[in-house]
Amino acid sequence: MKKRKVFNQISKDIKTIKIQGARNIAKKALYAYSLIPTEDSIKKLISLRPTEPMLVNVLRKTKTESLDKIFLHFDSAQEEINKFVYNLIDNGDIIYTHCHSTNVSNALIYTKNKGKHFEVYNTETRPLFQGRKTARELKEAEIKVTMFVDSAMDLALAGKGNNKKVNKILIGADALLKKGIINKVGSGMLGKLAKINKIPLYVVADSWKYSSKEVKIEERDFHEVWKSLPKDSQIKIRNPAFEFLKKKYILEIITEFGTLSYRKFLRIVKKEI
Ligand code: RUB
């Protein structure tokens, strides 16, 4: 296939969330850039998903670092994260996660493959159902998974009904900011419910998701929520893709720098990025 055609296909897949999650978006965008390495490519790729500092950081780094070196970072950071998550998880844990995060899934699969036994509860994540991807991936790795509808979040966390009580929450992040993080919509509510239910919440993320600037929350097309909404219905639909979670709800953040309080993480990341 011609380079331009591949570039355009990757752009389309990022825009339509066929390629999803901060890490996958940044990695694929870097590959697209390697095919057509111009300033215009950078502008176009950055415009595809507005809530993705990793995408911006990776493309910005092409100005000072080799593509090979940047590509290597994705796996080297993940390997470090895996080890820290392994140390965090105990046999018998009920871990809760939301949406689909490669940083989280890879670390859980690593932990399982290293011999720890735990269960995962997750949420389906409407309207695009990224929770199904998480459930499938974890199940393939022989991790026991129970998936809940989004509105059952509290019920699932608190061990109501036939459920066990969750004892650790692990979520990914799109943006790591001074005052907290941005992750899939529902993460704000999850933080508050974690506090009420006294469950520790950990963010698992590559440090390259850090941004010192403000990050816009992406609002997606209403058709994702209601495909055949009648034209004259006059119903307004809001479809924010992400949500801010204040740092006070995060017990610790796990990055390639270690398992740290959010404050300590910020001190390190400001020097590194
Ligand atoms: C995905 C999402 C993920 C983060 C982190 O949202 O919110 O939790 O991107 O993912 P979307 P990763 O599906 O809208 O892209 O760990 O893969 O970087």
pLDDT digits (tens, 9 = 90+) for 206-262: 999 999 999 999 999 999 999 999 989 999 999 999 999 999 999 999 999 999 999
Among 69, 58, 1, CA closest to 35: 1
Pocket test for ligand 1, best of 15, 19, 20 (most atoms within 8 A of CB): 20
pTM over 0.85: yes
- Upper half-sphere CA count for residue 154 (Cβ side, 13 Å): 7
> What CATH fold (topology level) applies to the domain 77-272?
Rossmann fold (3.40.50)
Of the pLDDT bands very low, low, confident and very high (cuts 50, 70, 90), residue 205 is very high
Among 153, 158, 162, CA closest to 99: 153
Mean pLDDT, all residues of the chain? 97
Q: Domain residue spans in the chain?
A: 2-70, 77-272
- Residue 201: burial class (beta carbons within 10 Å; 0-12, 13-18, 19+): buried
* pLDDT higher than 80, residue 169: yes
Kindly give the distance from the C-alpha atom of residue 232 to the centroid of ligand 1, in angstroms, as a whole number. 34
- Distance, in Å, from the CA atom of 175 to the CA atom of 216, rounded to the nearest integer, reads 10
Give me the mean pLDDT over the 133-149 stretch. Answer: 98
Residue 137 has a pLDDT of 98
Kindly give the distance from the C-alpha atom of residue 90 to the centroid of ligand 1, in angstroms, as a whole number. 25
Pocket (CB within 6 angstroms of ligand 1): 17, 20-24, 99-104, 130, 172-174, 183-184, 241
